[in-house]
Amino acid sequence: MRNNFLFDLDGTLLPMDMQHFIEIYLRTFCQRFALKTQLDPKLLANAIWEGAAAMGKNDGGCLNREVFWRALNRCCNKDMRVYEDEFDDFYRNEFVAAREATHVNPCVEKAVKLLKENGYTLIVATNPIFSKAATYERIRWAGLDPNDFVHITVYDNCSACKPNLNYYQDICSFCGILPEESIVVGNDVDEDMCAAKLGFDTFLVTDCLINRRDKDITRYKRGSFEDFYNWLVLQVES
**pLDDT digit string, tens, across residues 95-127:** 999 999 999 999 999 999 999 999 999 999 999
pLDDT of residue 237: 87
Measured in degrees and rounded to the nearest 5, phi and psi for residue 188 equal: -110, 115
Per-residue pLDDT of 168-190, as tens digits, reads 999 999 999 999 999 999 999 99
Task: Give the contacts of 55 (CB within 8 A, at least 6 positions apart).
Answer: 64, 67, 68, 71, 128, 129, 155, 161
Is the dihedral angle over the CA atoms 206, 224, 147, 91 positive or is it negative? positive
CB 67 within 8 A of CB 55: yes
CA angle 125/45/145 to nearest 5° reads 30
Are 107 and 60 part of one and the same domain? no
Are 30 and 111 part of one and the same domain? no
Number of domains in the chain: 2
Residue 16 bridge partners (DSSP): 102
Last residue of a domain, one of 99, 117, 132: 99
**Of 138, 129, 61, which Cα lies nearest the Cα of 101?**
138
CA angle 134/140/141 to nearest 5° reads 90
Are 67 and 166 part of one and the same domain? no
Are 165 and 226 part of one and the same domain? yes
pLDDT of residue 224: 98
Q: Which residues of the chain register pLDDT less than 70?
A: none
Task: Give the contacts of 126 (CB within 8 A, at least 6 positions apart).
Answer: 8, 9, 10, 135, 138, 152, 153
